[in-house]
Amino acid sequence: MLSNQVGFGILIPFLLLWGLVLLPYLTSRWSGWSTLADFFRSDTDFRGQKWRMQSAAMRYAMSYNNCLTIGANEEGLYLAMPMFFIRVGHPPLFIPWSEVSASPVTTGWLRGRTRLHLGRDLQIPLTISAALAQKLQMTAGTQWPLASSR
């Protein structure tokens, strides 16, 4: 009987640890973050304006609430996941403005926000608040992508 309790006592922490690794990994796959990382992974320090604890929605309604660092400079858009326990599958990204298009969201529950389409060929959506979009636009200056008809 005691050996069953010991085995069960080891199984629970193992399953919890496995879940803490698997869930962020699956989120990165579903949201499109891992696809973007194949093309836009950033291994250098980002130089530009950053806003911490930001929220965004990506593909398949995958939401990142108050856990993103989003940055911008004249060259592009920076996305990072600073929280260690959900960083699995979420390397920092730097996406040039030439690979981004923007449009206002005019319908649905995200109405009033701005949708960025990341990767010219990938078109991974990143929906952010209009206030954050305005900050990004001011930082990007003339490089900010013009509104698209999506």
Say what the pLDDT of residue 83 is: 75
Determine the residue type at 11. L
110 within a domain of the structure (yes/no) = yes
Query: Given pLDDT bands bounded at 50, 70 and 90, which one contains residue 19?
Result: low
pLDDT tens-digit readout, 117-126 = 999 999 999 9
Q: The domain that contains 90 carries what CATH number?
A: 2.30.29.30
pLDDT band at 14 (very low <50, low <70, confident <90, very high): low
Q: How many domains, the chain?
A: 1
Residue 27 lies in a domain: no
Structural domain for 53, as ranges: 33-143
Whole-number pLDDT of residue 2:
46
45, part of any domain: yes
Work out the mean pLDDT of the chain and round it to a whole number: 86
- Give pLDDT, residue 135: 97
Q: Which DSSP string do the residues of 65-113 spell out, in sequence order? A: EEEEEEEE-SSEEEEE---GGG-TT---EEEEGGGEEEEE--SSTTTTS
- pLDDT classification of 51: cutoffs 50, 70, 90: very high
Overall residue count recorded for the chain in this entry: 150
Q: What is the pLDDT of residues 65-118, one digit of tens each?
A: 999 999 999 999 999 998 766 677 899 999 999 999 999 998 887 788 999 999
Looking up tokens 């992508």 gives 145
pLDDT value for 1: 47
Does 40 fall in a domain?
A: yes
Could you tell me if residue 76 is inside a domain?
yes
pLDDT of residue 21: 58
Question: In Å, how far from its chain's centre is CA 117?
Answer: 12
Spell 63-99 as b/e; 16+ CB within 10 A means b.
Answer: ebeebbbbbbbeebbbbbbeeeebebbbbbbbbebeb
Q: According to the model, what pLDDT value does residue 7 have?
A: 60
> Does 22 have pLDDT greater than 70?
no
* pLDDT recorded at residue 150: 45
- Identity of the residue numbered 17: L
